[in-house]
Structures are given as C-alpha cells and as structure tokens.
Amino acid sequence: MKTIRFSLAALALTLLSAVSYAQTAPALTAYYGVKDALVSTDAAKTKTTATALVTALNKVDAAKLPAADKKALTTAKTTATAISKTTDVAAQRKQFETLSASMITLVKATKPAKSYVQYCPMVKASWLSDNKEVRNPYYGDKMLTCGSVKEEI
C-alpha cells in the first residue's frame, strides 16, 4: 500500500513538473533572445525580445509553480518589463542581472531544457545560456568570452 501511495505521489509531482515545463519553455526561449540581443549590444532588439519575454512569462500559471518560485516569476516579469521600456543598453544590462537570477530559479524548478549557468567575474553576475560556449551579455563584444560555465541544468 505504501508503494502505491509513493508511486502516485511521484506521478503527481512528475505531472506538475511537466505542466511547469510546458509553460516555462517559451519563456526560456524568449529569455535567450534577450541574452543574445545583449551579446550583440543591440538595444532595440533587446527591447523587442524583452517584450516577447513578458508575454511568455504572463502565460506561466504561478499556481502551478512551487511557492518558492512564484516570487522569481514575479521578479522576472517586473525586470523584463523594465528592459522592454528602454533602449539604454547599460540600463538593460543592469536589469538583466536581476532577470537572470530569477530565470535561473525558474529553470532549476521546472527544467524546461538543458541550460548552462554562466558567470561573469567582472560584473559578479550569472546568466543562462543554451550553449556551453560563453558569450557575455554584460559586455558584448568588449569582453565577449569573459566568463565561465558554473553549472549545467
């Protein structure tokens, strides 16, 4: 009987994770667009891709996330919105620090796709990448390969 209850609990957690995965995968893809635009130091594209990220994050049902990750979702929405309202790349990069921390939390909770947590020692901030090769969004072509992979999710 205990085995059946344990199996049902494990199945329920798996289904909850799958729902979260399906909801956060588009947000992660949109986040990568923001990151890539910052790598290119393209403020206009960053603004546009941040708008797409806000749309994707608004589709994530916070009720389906663990309680600890609801705050990360709210913070991600707020910072993505701030990025979408400016074409000042320095301001966008500053907001990207907070956005990245929130997205790392969400990705760890839902694991929508293989991701790499990368770290810039100059800014002392991390970001997510879909590629193991470091392309620094905080400095763009000034210090394109500055950083390292800290974790694989």
pLDDT tens digit at each of 153 positions of the chain: 555 544 434 434 444 444 456 778 999 999 999 999 999 999 999 999 999 999 999 999 888 777 778 999 999 999 999 999 999 999 999 999 999 999 999 999 888 889 999 999 999 999 999 999 999 999 998 999 999 999 999
Q: Angle, to 10 degrees, between the axis of helix 43-58 and the axis of helix 2-39?
A: 160
pLDDT value, residue 142? 92
Bridge partner residues of 118 (DSSP): 127, 149
pTM: 0.86
Residues 6+ apart with CB under 8 A from 109: 20, 65, 66, 68, 69, 72
The SS3 assignment for 59 reads coil
